[in-house]
A = this chain, B = another copy of it.
């Protein structure tokens, strides 16, 4: 066991429960336990790691607070999966005027191709110069209306073959696809918002007149191991919708 017990505390000392948490997280990242699978019980993990059940419990509760696992009494501790429900709770922020969550209902891929990463791509996705990316353009509907244009940039190395067929393989629910087809779990997203004016292309795609205001959402999606794996720019008509953000 590689755990630090009291006595050999180095400069990067971590409490036992944090070490246990890290080990469990690593095994989830490695795919030892896959999404929707049940982890061993607290007592079994405690035996494996040579710590008390209470210490494992704290580690698991921390991971649950970070939405890495889901704990259910009587059932066990599951690895969180990027299913539509999770997406709704964690990654959807658009609502209608009354505040009810609006999940995009469909999408149409306009283009999908592999190309050399631009400087912006390199910066956002922390790639090395010369890396390739897959770039997808699509439009999405919110409610009844085509209200969203999206440009999605992915490291080509992580998503081999995704660009095949010009986007014929690209489903609507991308995060679920990343998980199921590439074993990449989106853990959290960082978003930066601004107001922009619709250019001629946006206006045409969304049926607006150029110059109308759009909400631009610049989102980087971060995987379980903390690396940026998707950069997405969403432009959204907010005449009938809102972006909600409830913060403490």
Contact = CB atoms under 8 A, between A and B. Distances in A.
Contact of A211 (B65, B91, B211, B215): B211
A99 interface: yes
Contacts of A236: 195
Contacts of A215: 193-195, 215
A248 B67 CA distance: 7
Given A211-B211, A213-B214, A215-B215, A247 B189 contact: yes
Consensus secondary structure, chain A interface: strand
A168 interface: no
A47 interface: no
A110 interface: no
B188 A246 contact: yes
A190 interface: yes
A95 interface: yes
- Quickly give the copy total for this chain: 2
Interface string A191-219: 11111110000000000000111111010
A21 interface: no
Given A93-B247, A248-B188, A238 B195 contact: yes
B90 A248 contact: yes
A238 B216 CA distance: 10
A91 B245 CA distance: 11
A242 interface: yes
A36 interface: no
A211 to B, nearest CB: 7
A246 to B, nearest CB: 5
Nearest to A237: B195
A243 B188 contact: no
A183 to B, nearest CB: 20
A93 B214 CA distance: 19
A55 to B, nearest CB: 14
Given A195-B214, A195-B215, 7 more contacts: A95-B192, A99-B192, A188-B247, A189-B247, A191-B247, A193-B243, A218-B242
Q: 4 nearest interchain CB pairs?
A: A194-B238, A195-B213, A195-B195, A213-B213
